[in-house]
């Protein structure tokens, strides 16, 4: 073994001659011991432990907590590396990393001793039992006895909740589970049907990967969802570290912590972590804290409680600290009280409030000196906002081509996007990527239209307006055109990848939110539309009136914010 190796240990995989990895399958030639290891249940039971086991569990907790204070392994010749074992499980490597991380930071940013950890758990769970929201995925998971059905219910909700607000997900989740109540139902569905139901939810690759995962479980894993976070992440497409931990803890009772956007905020405030929360060091430390805090008897509830706290109390802009069940353990709140005491000068000298005092140099978990404490922000000084690159800007010309006198009523043309990339497999109006303006834009768009519908009258192509839609990494401006085939012979044949739909069919098709905005512009400007009707608010962004600072503040206050996985902590969505 090379002690200076920088290659991180990963679960053993098979490699094909093409270089692609393959996951272990339950084939006859494969030892059953490996398959049993993949499907093994976690040691922790799903239900709460009997009271007679409490003393033994308490002893184990003390040993686990005390182990976080031990010295890290002897550093090797390469700075920043640690001894690893070839083929060691991912969980073992993570536990090694947690020990090193905890031993290398100030105790100020750690939970110390069983009493403090137990107080955090008890206070948070007591609050959660009293205040938790009644959500459909929680009801379904709590009432489901079958472990695979329970895991499926959690899996769907966690994927939908990535980068999407709870209020939006509820309706989608309800309709999804009504249509595909089991993994087998989803596996037998078509991708077209999945995209159709997912339309409008955004980040469409999530639905596609969920469909792929269901098919893999049914076709390759015997219909059984992997039982541990490690095997979930290893075997299921689109399942990252957070989603795997959520499924394993909530559905199977595995004592594994999770970190999503809400948990990041809670832990950064509770332990006064002011460094960039998206950095590798801070991310690693947050996962270590989450693992230390997870309740072995109620791991799923503890994880959900931490997320619930961040979603409803420890919010980004207007936290309700007076209602926080762990306020007494929150170092950010303690810092606020300290600053208030110093400002009032009611006590001589500095109040007795603990601060970070690293042995030498700047603490890597504290805010940098260039970003001092802002007394006007209070606890919202934590966490530090990560600097994000602005989305790249692109322009696309798109046209709503309509046959007003088609057989069976007016119809509009839609074409299907490629099976990979942005909005993969969805339907859209014929579009071309172009320069922001110019005659070439019209020519390129007309050529694209003729590719799908044959010769067209160029003089009727009218520019109707503009739609700006921002995806996760692209700010896309659609120049909206319209063309109506009034006197021409209706088109009856179309090439593969195109279809003519009625207005009713369009609204139920697998189209993106951006295309629905484009269609609203067309409907508001097409011949025969009511001239007195209100202009579409998305037709001309340049004409929008910028809200006043006061209005922006009100909008920010009332806008719900329930993020789940931060992209840096989980799988990337489109």
Residues 6+ apart with CB under 8 A from 163: 202, 203, 472, 563, 564, 565, 567, 573
Distance CA(20)–CA(17), nearest Å, equals 8
255 within 8 A of 294, measured Cβ to Cβ? yes
508 vs 28: CA distance, rounded Å? 45
Cα 87 vs. chain centroid, distance in angstroms? Answer: 29
DSSP state of 276: B
Tell me the three state secondary structure of residue 455: coil
Question: Residues with catalytic annotation?
Answer: 158
* Short-list 27, 91, 90, 30, CA closest to 221: 27
Count CB atoms within 10 A of the CB of residue 186: 24
Query: Maximum Cα–Cα distance for the chain, whole Å?
Result: 91
Q: Please state the φ and ψ torsions of residue 479, each to the nearest 5 degrees.
A: -85, 115
Cβ contacts of residue 52 below 8 Å, gap of 6+?
none
Q: Please report where in the chains the tokens 């432990």 appear, as a residue.
A: 49
Distance, CA of 108 to CA of 110 (rounded, Å): 6
CA trace torsion 517, 521, 527, 531 (10° rounding): 120
Q: What is the DSSP letter of 373?
A: -
Please state the φ and ψ torsions of residue 13, each to the nearest 5 degrees: -135, 160
* CA 1, chain centre distance (Å): 38
Q: Assign 437 to helix, strand or coil.
A: coil
Please tell me the distance from the alpha carbon of residue 70 to that of residue 73, in angstroms, as a whole number: 9
In whole angstroms, give the CA distance from residue 211 to residue 404. 37
DSSP 8-state symbol, 417: P
81: left (phi over 0), alpha (psi -120 to 50) or beta: beta
Q: Residue holding tokens 């057989």?
A: 407
Nearby residues of 502 by Cβ (< 8 Å), 6 or more positions away: 408, 409, 410, 411, 412
The three-state DSSP-derived secondary structure of 133-195 is: CCCHHHHHHHHCCCHHHHHHHHHHHHHHCCCCCHHHHHHHHHHHHHHCCCHHHHHCCCHHHHH
Q: How far apart are CA 248 and CA 236, in angstroms?
A: 13
Residues 151 and 252: beta-carbon distance below 8 Å: yes
Please state whether 19 falls in left (phi above 0), alpha (psi between -120 and 50) or beta: left
Asked whether 571 and 238 are in contact (CB, 8 A), the reply is yes
């Amino acid at each position: 073994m090379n002690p200076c190796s920088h290659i991180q240990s990963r679960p053993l995989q098979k490699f094909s001659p093409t270089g692609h990895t393959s996951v272990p399958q339950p084939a006859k030639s494969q030892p059953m011991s490996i398959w049993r290891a993949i499907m093994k249940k976690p040691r922790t039971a799903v239900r709460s432990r009997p009271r007679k086991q409490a003393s033994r569990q308490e002893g184990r907790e003390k040993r686990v907590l005390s182990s976080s204070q031990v010295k890290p392994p002897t550093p090797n010749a390469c700075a920043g590396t640690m001894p690893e074992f070839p083929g060691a499980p991912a969980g073992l490597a993570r536990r090694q990393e947690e020990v090193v991380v905890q031993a290398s930071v100030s105790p100020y940013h750690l939970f110390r001793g069983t009493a403090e950890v137990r107080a955090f758990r008890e206070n948070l769970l007591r609050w959660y039992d009293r205040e938790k929201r009644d959500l459909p995925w929680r009801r379904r998971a709590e009432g489901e006895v079958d472990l695979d059905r329970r895991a499926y219910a959690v899996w769907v909700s966690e994927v939908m909740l990535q980068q999407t607000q709870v209020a939006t997900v509820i309706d989608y989740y309800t309709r999804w589970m009504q249509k595909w109540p089991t993994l087998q139902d989803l596996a037998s569905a078509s991708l077209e049907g999945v995209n159709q139901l997912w339309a409008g939810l955004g980040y469409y690759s999530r639905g596609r990967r969920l469909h792929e995962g269901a098919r893999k479980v049914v076709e390759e894993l015997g219909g059984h969802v992997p039982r541990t976070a490690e095997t979930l992440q290893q075997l299921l497409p689109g399942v990252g570290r957070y989603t795997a931990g959520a499924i394993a803890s909530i559905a199977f009772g595995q004592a594994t912590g999770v970190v999503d956007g809400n948990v990041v905020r809670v832990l950064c405030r509770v332990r006064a972590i002011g460094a960039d929360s998206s950095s590798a060091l801070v991310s690693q430390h947050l996962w270590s804290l989450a693992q230390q805090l997870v309740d072995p008897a109620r791991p799923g509830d503890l994880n959900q409680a931490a997320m619930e706290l961040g979603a409803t109390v420890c919010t980004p802009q207007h936290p309700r600290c007076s209602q926080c069940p762990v306020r007494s353990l929150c170092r950010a709140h303690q810092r606020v009280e300290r600053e208030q005491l110093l400002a009032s000068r009611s006590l001589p000298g500095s109040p007795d409030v603990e601060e970070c005092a690293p042995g030498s140099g700047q603490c890597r978990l504290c805010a940098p000196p260039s970003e001092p404490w802002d007394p006007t922000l209070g606890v919202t000084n934590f966490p530090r906002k990560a600097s994000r690159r602005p989305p790249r800007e692109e322009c696309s010309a798109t046209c709503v081509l309509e046959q007003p006198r088609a057989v069976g009523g007016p119809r509009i043309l839609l074409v299907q996007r490629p099976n990979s990339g942005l909005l993969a497999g969805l339907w859209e109006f014929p579009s071309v990527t172009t320069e922001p303006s110019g005659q070439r834009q019209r020519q390129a768009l007309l050529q694209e239209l003729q590719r799908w519908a044959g010769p067209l009258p160029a003089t009727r192509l009218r520019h109707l307006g503009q739609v700006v839609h921002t995806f996760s990494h692209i700010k896309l401006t659609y120049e909206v055109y319209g063309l109506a085939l009034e006197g021409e012979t209706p088109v009856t044949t179309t090439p593969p990848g195109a279809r003519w739909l009625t207005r009713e069919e369009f609204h139920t098709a697998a189209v993106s939110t951006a295309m629905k905005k484009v269609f609203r512009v067309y409907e508001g400007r097409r011949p025969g539309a009511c001239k007195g009707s209100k202009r579409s608010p998305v037709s001309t962004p340049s004409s929008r009136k910028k809200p006043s600072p006061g209005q922006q503040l009100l909008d920010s206050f009332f806008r719900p914010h329930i993020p789940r996985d931060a992209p840096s902590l989980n799988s990337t969505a489109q």
